[in-house]
Amino acid sequence: MKGLPAQTDYVVVGAGVAGLRAAIDLAESGQVLLLTKKEYPTFKARDAKREADWLSDDDDVNLHLQDTLEAGAGLCNPAAVKVMIEEGAERIDELLAWGKHNGTKLSFELENPHTRSRRLHTDGESTGKEILKTLAHKVESLKHVSVAAFAFITELRTEGGRITGISLLDEKGTPQQVACSAILLATGGCGQIFSNTTNPETATADGIALAFRAGAEVGDMEFVQFHPTALCMKKVPRFPLPEGLRAEGAYLRNFELDRFMGKYHPLGERAPRDLIARAIVHEMEVSRAKDPFVYLDVTHFNAGKIEKRFPRVYATCMAYNIDITEDLAPVRPAANCTLGGIRTDLDGKTNVAGLYAAGEVAATGVHGANRLPSNSLLEALVYGARAGKAMRNVEKASSDAAPDPKAAYSNGPVDSGVEELVGQIQSLTWSEVGIVRTRMGMQKAVKMLEEMAPKLAHPKTRRGHEAANLHLTALLVARSAMAREESRGAHYRMDYPDHDDKKFLKHSVVRGDKVVFV
């Protein structure tokens, strides 16, 4: 678009599944400004998740509900899970109609720990890519949606406890302000607070940090799911080698090439992913290697089967000179999915009037303490639509809303030492608030993060704002993890290895610098 409007009805921040789906509903009621940190979706395969959890014809809502609740270790909101499953079929039918995919062959396959085959493929293509493509094309056809690429939100403007607009840096780094009646944050997760993550470089926790500063409640921040087998090579993105490989019979081997999962769980490589991640961490520690990793071995598979069943995995590994039909793939755990986030109701509404959230940035109650693999896309699709419908009922913004000059940010010189600070945050969070946690380690993390705060207090550039967002979110995660004195789901503490339902079968909520359980 040529320039940003001074005012619009609705702002959607993020052009992933949740943001695009919400924009489609909002366009029926008013003008929508869709903001994306980078370019509009271009469907690069490695930027999309490979699978989606959709009910097949022989599945049952109650079984899917049960699997999700069991994975969530007692902290799922059953009503939220039921909404996702029951409304998922309608959302899928819409996608098929919009994408004219009626002739597409859909196949459902089993993925741990599902009890039925629910992972949907679209003729071998990335399901996430197909969803994004369909939604993006639909949005492009809507005259009431304007898209601004390379826009970075620096502040959610509020007055009297309700949203009035946003401050941002546009594509050229120039401060801009837009008045609006409601905002949807669909900014994704916070994987970049860790030095090892499968998340894209844009996943700098912007939505969580913006919402928290605006007074929104955030919760369950201690629950971050780690993918156990991400490709581990120098100067190569942490590409996730999927659960399906282990479900099909892949082996995990340590530095001495011995299979080791049998020592940790009777299911071996088919054990729950959080247990596998901890087992790999232990094996890496024992190896005392300078750059530790283990190996994923599929060399006993039929080569043709790998190329046909896992074309994206095969092609990606080949691009980095690893032929997985003949070579062992070096892997290690990496942060994959933010399970907590901005607390919302079943319509994406937060405790701040006019502020909504959907997708990975939101804590809807679907995932609880541990995500059932592949539920993320379905959650984003269903709750993006619900948030869009709910936002249409928000009173429209006043046409005489004026920009607040105090909210503008300078696009001055590069923040001093910002990359070094980002590296410190990521290393500290990975080592002390990662897969295995202890009180001493988390106390160290909180203390060091608090000492960094003055250096990040007045960001001047996009990267400076990202660093401030990473810093704040790392603190939220560390404080929440320290407050939960038990192990549950994706949160594992060496000093409290068991569940404590009496004290902690509750959700954590961060209020100021305190964490409470509700």
What does the pLDDT look like over 297-335, one tens digit per residue?
999 999 888 888 888 899 999 999 999 999 999 999 999
* pLDDT number for residue 376: 86
Q: Percent of the chain scored above 70 by pLDDT? A: 86
The one catalytic residue in 50, 273, 371, 437 is: 273
For the question of residue 273 being annotated catalytic, the response is: yes
**In angstroms, rounded to a whole number, what is the distance separating the alpha carbons of residues 95 and 43?**
16
Least confident among 49-58, 149-158, 286-295? 49-58
Mean pLDDT of 327-352: 96
Q: Which residue has the higher pLDDT, 452 or 131?
A: 452
**pLDDT(124) > 80:** no
100's torsion region: left (phi>0), alpha (psi -120 to 50) or beta?
A: left
Among residues 14, 4, 7, 1, the alpha carbon closest in space to that of 31 is found at 7
**In angstroms, rounded to a whole number, what is the distance separating the alpha carbons of residues 233 and 227?**
16
List, in order of start, the domains of the chain with CATH numbers.
Answer: 19-51+74-105+122-219+337-405 (3.50.50.60), 227-335 (3.90.700.10), 414-517 (1.20.58.100)
Confidence of residue 102 (pLDDT cuts 50, 70, 90): very low
Residue type, position 247, single letter: A
**In angstroms, rounded to a whole number, what is the distance separating the alpha carbons of residues 404 and 139?**
31
Mean pLDDT computed over every residue of the chain: 87
**pLDDT(23) > 70:** yes
Confidence of residue 264 (pLDDT cuts 50, 70, 90): very high
Confidence of residue 58 (pLDDT cuts 50, 70, 90): very low
Strand, coil or helix: 314: helix
**In angstroms, rounded to a whole number, what is the distance separating the alpha carbons of residues 338 and 27?**
29
Strand, coil or helix: 221: coil
Least confident among 179-183, 311-315, 444-448? 311-315
Long-range contacts of 74-78 (CB under 8 A, 24+ apart): 74/368, 74/369, 74/488, 74/499, 74/501, 74/505, 75/220, 75/223, 75/368, 75/369, 75/488, 75/489, 75/505, 75/507, 76/365, 76/366, 76/367, 76/368, 77/364, 77/365, 77/366, 77/368
* pLDDT number for residue 60: 54
* pLDDT number for residue 126: 59
φ, ψ for residue 289, nearest 5 deg? -70, 150
| Calculated CA dihedral for residues 323, 43, 107, 52, nearest 10 degrees | 100
Rounded (10°) angle between helices 61-71 and 78-99: 120
